């Protein structure tokens, strides 16, 4: 089945929209193939501010209505505790909110941007999506991550080269309780590094300190900007460490 065929079968739907590569392409495809689609963005402490900015920019570019829903993710049982099933608990709670909002707006099909490259065994949150009967057109139609980027570029979407960006909760080690303060520190640090020209990196927490994880191509840049990085991040963290195990470049 192609995406065009999918949207002929599903002419009206709500779409969970994160502002990322996959959901951006999904929204474009829905619009292109005549679907009456509305985008829904859930703002929580797990999402950095730039993701909402990107979501608004893309929705405006595609002329798709966007509804922003705010949620206290740290109040969700199982989320703040940050156990191995955190992603499941988060997805279950957030997509339940999305279903409620979409239903009130007259939408009875809910879509998400999971693609054919995403392995169910590596994505605990996918179990929650299955339980809530959320449809994943990209996955159902066999569209891989690489194809999403290529097709997004052809479509003129600015998100085509946007690095993969997991939620801020992934920066906190599993089993360590998540706090709003820790999330804000990580977001602040990553914005500082982004401003220095770094891309596709992570600032992970380790006993309150920052552990920088960069790709091979940016390791030299870290050393070049060492003093600048330390001056900026020591105002946030007691210590700043560099992970010698390079981060794999995201697709």
pLDDT digits (tens, 9 = 90+) for 210-249: 999 999 999 999 999 999 999 999 999 999 999 988 887 6
Quick one: 66 and 111 in the same domain?
A: yes
User: In this predicted model, what pLDDT tens digit does every residue of 18-76 receive, in sequence order?
Assistant: 999 999 999 999 999 999 999 999 999 999 999 999 999 999 999 999 999 999 999 99
Paired strand residues for 72 = none
Q: Which two tokens stand for residue 143?
A: 């569209």
Domain-located, residue 249? no
Domain-located, residue 167? no
| 89 band by pLDDT with thresholds 50, 70 and 90 | very high
Domain-located, residue 173? no
- Give the range of the structural domain holding residue 130, as residue numbers without chain letter: 3-161
Quick one: 141 and 206 in the same domain?
A: no
What mean pLDDT is predicted for residues 74-93? 95
Domain boundary among 99, 126, 161: 161
Paired strand residues for 205 = 210
Quick one: 151 and 196 in the same domain?
A: no
Quick one: 198 and 145 in the same domain?
A: no
Q: Which two tokens stand for residue 147?
A: 């194809």
Quick one: 157 and 217 in the same domain?
A: no
pLDDT for res 165: 85
Q: Is residue 123 over pLDDT 80? A: no
User: In this predicted model, what pLDDT tens digit does every residue of 91-111 receive, in sequence order?
Assistant: 999 999 999 999 999 999 999
Domain-located, residue 188? yes
Q: What is the mean pLDDT of the chain?
A: 94
Quick one: 66 and 141 in the same domain?
A: yes
Q: Domain containing 125 — which CATH number?
A: 3.40.50.620
Number of domains forming the structure of the chain? 2
Domain-located, residue 150? yes
Which residue, 89, 97, 111, 93, is CA-closest to 38?
111
| 251 band by pLDDT with thresholds 50, 70 and 90 | low
User: In this predicted model, what pLDDT tens digit does every residue of 143-162 receive, in sequence order?
Assistant: 999 999 999 999 999 999 99
Quick one: 147 and 195 in the same domain?
A: no
pLDDT for res 110: 98
Quick one: 123 and 202 in the same domain?
A: no
Question: CA 133, 37, 153, 114: dihedral to nearest 10 degrees?
Answer: -10
CA-based max dimension of the chain? 57
Domain-located, residue 42? yes
Domain boundary among 117, 134, 161: 161
Quick one: 156 and 201 in the same domain?
A: no
pLDDT for res 74: 96
């Amino acid at each position: 089945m192609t995406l065009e065929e999918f949207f002929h079968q599903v002419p009206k739907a709500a779409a969970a929209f994160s502002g990322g590569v996959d959901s951006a392409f999904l929204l474009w495809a829905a619009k292109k193939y005549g679907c009456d689609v509305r985008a829904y963005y859930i703002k929580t402490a797990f999402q950095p501010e730039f993701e909402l900015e990107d979501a608004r920019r893309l929705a405006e570019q595609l002329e798709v209505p966007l509804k922003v829903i705010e949620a206290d993710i740290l109040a969700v049982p199982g989320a703040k505790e940050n156990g191995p099933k955190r992603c499941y608990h988060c997805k279950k709670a957030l997509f339940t909110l999305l279903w409620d909002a979409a239903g009130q707006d007259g939408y009875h099909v809910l879509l998400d941007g999971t693609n054919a490259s995403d392995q169910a065994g590596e994505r605990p949150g996918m179990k929650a999506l299955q339980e809530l009967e959320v449809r994943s057109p990209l996955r159902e139609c066999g569209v891989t991550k690489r194809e999403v980027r290529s097709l997004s570029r052809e479509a003129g979407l600015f998100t085509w080269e946007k690095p993969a960006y997991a939620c801020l909760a992934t920066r906190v080690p599993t089993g360590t309780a998540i706090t709003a303060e820790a999330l804000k520190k990580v977001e602040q640090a990553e914005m500082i590094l982004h401003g220095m020209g770094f891309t596709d990196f992570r600032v992970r927490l380790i006993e309150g300190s920052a552990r920088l994880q960069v790709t091979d191509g940016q390791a030299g840049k870290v050393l070049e900007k060492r003093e600048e990085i330390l001056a900026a991040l020591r105002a946030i963290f007691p210590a700043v460490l560099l992970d010698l195990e390079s981060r794999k470049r995201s697709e």
